[in-house]
Structure 1
Amino acid sequence: MNSKIQAISSFLTERKERLKPEEANELNLKRIEKIDFTGQIHLVENKPTKTDMIVVKKGDLVISGINVAKGALAVYEGDEDVIATIHYSSYSFDKEKIDINFLKWFLKSPAFVDALAEQTGGGIKTEIKAKKFLSLKIPIPTLDEQKNIEANLNKFEEKYNQVSEELQTQSELINKLRSSILSDAIHGRLTDEWRKHTTFNDEIICRYKNNNLHITNEDNQPFKIPNTWIWIKLDNLVNQDRGITYGIVKMGNEPTKNGIVALRCSDVKFRRIDITNARKVTEEISSQYKRTILEGGEILLNIRGTLGGCGIVDASLRGCNIAREIGMIPISNNEFTDYILNVLTSPYFNNQIENNLRGIAYKGLNLNILRNFPIPLPPPEEQKRIVEKVERLMATCDALELEVQNSKIETEKLMQSVLKEAFKN
C-alpha cells in the first residue's frame, strides 16, 4: 500500500456541539442507544438524560470511544439530528481526502490498534477520546487506492459473512439437537427398545403409588408416558426438612477477606455451575440462611433474572450459599438427581414455565409453581439408562460445538490476517 502518513485531524473534524441535560431533554431528539459490532446504529426515543450529550448530524461518522476497534462505528444516515452520550464522538469528513468506508475498515484493523499502542501508550484498554483519536497519524493512500482496498475487503467480507452465518446455523442446530435429546429422554423414547427386553424391579415407583404421591388425574398429566412410569409433583421428590427454597435476600457488601461464596444466577449455566466470577458474603449473613447452605448434590435453578440456568451442586461447593434469584431443589433420593436435571433442562419444563410467566412484567418463577411441577418419573433402573444415554449424546454435542467454536476463532483470525495485509504499509 503506497501511502502518506497523515493525522486523522487532516480529514476528520469533530462536531463539538454539546447539550446540557435540560436542553437535550427539551429537544426530545432520538438518542443513540448503542452501535453494535456490525456497525448498526440503535436509536431510542424519549429517553431522558442527566449528563451532557453530543449532537450527531446526517452523514457524520460516529464512533464509540470504548469499542471502536471492535467495529462500533457507523455513518449516521438519518435526516433528523440525534444525540449521544459523551462516550461517543461525532465527525464530519472531507470526501476529497478520505473514503469513509476505507477508514471504517482501517479502524477495525490491527493497524489501528498498533497505531494506538505506539502513539498513545494506552492502546484500546481505555476510552478513546476525540483529542487522542484525531492526533493519531496513520498511513493514507490515494483516494483511488482507498476505494480499491475497500472493494477488495467488501468482497472478502461477503465470504466471511457467509461462513459466519453457516457456523451460526450449526450452533443453532446443535442447540436444537440438545433439546431433542432431552425431550426424547423424558418421554421415554431413548429407552423404548430397552423396556421391550427388560424386566426390572419397580418397587420405588410402587411405593409412590401406594402412598398416593403420584398424579392420577389424566387431565393433569402433560403428555403420555410409558405405563411403568408415573407423574409426580417435584415437591414429593425433595428432602422435606429443607424443601424447595431460595437463598440470601440481601447479600450486603462483599467482604475483602475470607467470606462465603454465594452463587447468583450468573453462576448457574445450562446444566453446570461455574464459580469463576462468584462473589462472597460474610459468614454472618450466610448463617442467617442455614437452610440454603449447600451440602452437595442439590439442584440449583435460576428463578429470577436470567432464567434457563440449572445445574447440580458439586461436592467441592459444600458450605457455599445461594442468592435469592436461585431456587434450591434438594432431591431426597440422590439416584434421581441426574434424571431430574434432564427434566428441568428440557423443552417441556421451559415451555411450561414460560406459559406460567406470560404477561408478567418482571420474570420470576414462583416457588409454588415449581413445587407443584409434574415430573414424568421412570423406575430407578431406567433412569440410569436414560442418564447414561443423555450424557453420551450431550458429550457428542459438546464436541460438535467445540469444533464450531474453533472454526469461528479461525475465521476471525483469517479476517484479522486479511485486514493486516490490506493495511500493511
Structure 2
Amino acid sequence: MSNQKVRLGDYCDIIKGAIGIQKATPGEFPLVVTAEERLSHNEFQFDNTAVIIPLVSSTGHGHASIKRLHYQEGKFALGTILCAVIIKDTTIINPRFLYIYLSYFKDHLLVPLMKGAANVTLSIKKIKEVEIILPTIERQLEIIELEKNNDLVEELNTEIQTQKQLLTNLKQAILQEAIQGKLTQDWRTRHPELVEGQHSAEHLLQRIKTEKAQLIKEGKIKKEKPLPKITKEEIPFEIPKGWVWCRLGDISHTITKGSSPKWQGVQYVDEGVLFITSENVGTNEILLKRKKYVQEKFNEIEPRSILEKGDILTNIVGASIGRTTLWNLDFVANINQAVCLIRFPDNYFNKQFLINILNSDFGLKLMMDNQFDTGRGNLSLGAVSNFKIPFPSLEEQKAIVKKVETLMQKCTALEEEIKQSETNAQMLMQAVLKEAFEG
C-alpha cells in the first residue's frame, strides 16, 4: 500500500486531560503537563501509548504557538490543557511515528488551527480534522529508526546547545568583570582625574546624601528608615581603588511597587492606563506583545507607582525575579505588585550600569538570597533598598556601560549565528523526514 492521506479523527481517539495541575496530588503516576518535565499524581487517567498535544498557546495572550508535544506510555495522568491522541489500531499507525510526524510539522498542521484574540486555544474538533500522510507500517518503522539514528542532526543539536550555554556564560562573565572594574582598568590609568577629588565615587555619594536630605526636608521625597552600614563581612568581592560600596536605597529617591487592580476594585479594559506586569519586564527589554489596560482611576488610587521615563523596573515575585530593564517609553503606565520601580536622577548613577549590576549573576544572587517566601519567590521593598552595590565614579560608570555595550553587540552577532545554525539543523531534519514520508 502506498502513502495515503488520512484524518486523525478517523484513526484516533482524542481525549482531553482531566487533572487540574494546581489540585494534583503527588503520587506514583506521571502527570503530563506542558512543561518538558513530568509532574506526578496519585491516580492515572490513561493506560495507553499516546501522543500528547497542548490545547493552549505556549506563548499566551494573542499569539499562537506550540513549543512541544509529548510521547507517553503506560499509566499516566494528563493536565486539563492538553489532550491525548490514542491510536485505535497500532498495526496501521505506529504511535512513535505519529509523535515524530506531528512534532516536526506542528507549525504547519496544528498551530494554524489555534484561535482566540486573548486566550489562544486549539480545539479537539480541529485536531480530529488534521490530515497526515500515512506510509505503510514498515515505512513508519524505518522512519522511527531514521529519526533515532540521525547522528548528524543530533551532533548539530548538541553542539548548538553547547554554544548557547557558552554564550550565556560569556555574557555573565562580561557583566561580572564590568561590575568589578576589570573592563576599565586601562581607562582609570588614562583618566586618573576623573576618579579622584570632586569626581570621585566617595564625593558623589556624599553629594547624593546631602541632596536627598534637603529634598526630604522640603517634603519632596519620602523619608525612609536609616540603612545599615555595610560591614567588611558583607563585601562579596574586591573593588578598585576609588570605588565604594553603598546600599541601593542610598542613591534612590523612590523604591516602590504597584498593586493588583482587583485589590483596588479596578477593572481591566480595552483602552485605558497601560498596565505593566512581570511578564512585560524582560532582561534589558520591555515586552509589549501582550498589553493590558486598566481603568484610569487606578492612577488616582496608586499615584506613587505611575511610571516616569527613566525608571528602572525589576521583577520581585515568581519565576521571573531579577529580570531588570529601563522604562524608556512615553506611555502613561502603572505597575502591579510583582514589579518594583527604582527611581533616581540621572546625575546620581548611570541607570544602565545599575541594570547591568542587577542582571548579572551577582545581582541575581542578591535577589535569590533575600527572598522572604522561597516557596513562591518574593522580594520585599526593604530587601531591594538594602541591596549592596559597587559604586564607581559617574564618568567611569559611563565608560563601563559603553564597553559592555560594545561587547554585548558582539554577543548578539554570535547569538544570531547560533539561531541560524539551529534553524538549519531543524530544516535539515525536516527535509530528511519529508523525504522519508514521501519516499
Q: TM class, shorter-chain normalised?
A: 0.7 to 0.9
- Mapped partners of 2:343, 2:37: distance in 1: 47
* Counterpart residue type for residue 381 of structure 2: L
- Mapped partners of 1:69, 1:274: distance in 2: 20
Within the alignment, does 1:197 sit opposite 2:218 as a pair?
Answer: no
Equivalent residue number for residue 154 of structure 2: 161
Identity rate, percent:
26
Measured against aligned partners, the alpha-carbon deviations of 1:343-365 in whole angstroms (never above 9, x if no partner) come to: 11121111122122277223111
* Counterpart residue type for residue 44 of structure 1: S
Pairwise CA RMSD: 3.8
- Mapped partners of 1:248, 1:168: distance in 2: 39
Distance change >3 Å, CA 216–CA 96, structure 1 → 2: closer
Distance change >3 Å, CA 74–CA 260, structure 1 → 2: same
Measured against aligned partners, the alpha-carbon deviations of 1:231-288 in whole angstroms (never above 9, x if no partner) come to: 111111112xxx211113326322233x111211111111222223231122111122
* Counterpart residue type for residue 101 of structure 2: F
Q: CA deviation at 1:408?
A: 1.8
- Mapped partners of 2:337, 2:24: distance in 1: 37
The structure number with the bigger radius of gyration is 1
- Mapped partners of 2:3, 2:68: distance in 1: 23
Within the alignment, does 1:319 sit opposite 2:316 as a pair?
Answer: no
Equivalent residue number for residue 293 of structure 1: 306
**8 A contact 1:65–1:129 mirrored in 2:** no
- Mapped partners of 1:343, 1:16: distance in 2: 49
Q: CA deviation at 1:216?
A: 6.5
**8 A contact 1:69–1:108 mirrored in 2:** no
Within the alignment, does 1:267 sit opposite 2:280 as a pair?
Answer: yes
- Mapped partners of 2:256, 2:202: distance in 1: 28
**8 A contact 1:110–1:420 mirrored in 2:** no
Distance change >3 Å, CA 344–CA 138, structure 1 → 2: closer
Equivalent residue number for residue 391 of structure 2: 377
- Mapped partners of 1:16, 1:171: distance in 2: 37
**8 A contact 2:2–2:135 mirrored in 1:** yes
Within the alignment, does 1:129 sit opposite 2:143 as a pair?
Answer: no
**8 A contact 2:16–2:83 mirrored in 1:** no
Partner of 1:269, secondary structure, is coil
Aligned length: 396
Judge which range, 228-237 or 163-172, deviates more: 163-172
* Counterpart residue type for residue 2 of structure 1: S
Q: 1:63 aligns with which of 27, 52, 57?
A: 52
- Mapped partners of 1:378, 1:20: distance in 2: 54
Equivalent residue number for residue 106 of structure 1: 101
| 5+ residue gaps, structure 2 | 57-64, 116-120, 210-227
Equivalent residue number for residue 72 of structure 1: 69
- Mapped partners of 1:13, 1:369: distance in 2: 55
Q: CA deviation at 1:318?
A: 4.9
Measured against aligned partners, the alpha-carbon deviations of 1:23-54 in whole angstroms (never above 9, x if no partner) come to: x999x873633266xxx78251248xxxxxx8
Within the alignment, does 1:346 sit opposite 2:360 as a pair?
Answer: yes
Equivalent residue number for residue 88 of structure 1: 83
**8 A contact 1:292–1:322 mirrored in 2:** yes
Within the alignment, does 1:417 sit opposite 2:413 as a pair?
Answer: no
Q: 2:141 aligns with which of 136, 144, 147?
A: 147
Measured against aligned partners, the alpha-carbon deviations of 1:124-145 in whole angstroms (never above 9, x if no partner) come to: 6664538963x77655443333
Partner of 2:193, secondary structure, is coil
Q: CA deviation at 1:168?
A: 1.7
Q: CA deviation at 1:209?
A: 6.3
* Counterpart residue type for residue 106 of structure 1: Y
**8 A contact 2:32–2:77 mirrored in 1:** no
* Counterpart residue type for residue 55 of structure 2: I
Equivalent residue number for residue 50 of structure 1: none
Measured against aligned partners, the alpha-carbon deviations of 1:106-125 in whole angstroms (never above 9, x if no partner) come to: 333549956x89xxxx8466
Distance change >3 Å, CA 99–CA 194, structure 1 → 2: same
* Counterpart residue type for residue 63 of structure 1: I
Measured against aligned partners, the alpha-carbon deviations of 1:295-319 in whole angstroms (never above 9, x if no partner) come to: 21111111112212111111x3353
Give the alignment of 1:179-218 within 5 angstroms.
179-201=172-194, 202=196, 203=198, 205-208=201-204, 217-218=231-232
Equivalent residue number for residue 236 of structure 1: 250
Equivalent residue number for residue 51 of structure 1: none
Equivalent residue number for residue 417 of structure 2: 403
| 5+ residue gaps, structure 1 | 48-53
* Counterpart residue type for residue 150 of structure 1: I
- Mapped partners of 1:20, 1:320: distance in 2: 38
- Mapped partners of 1:111, 1:18: distance in 2: 20
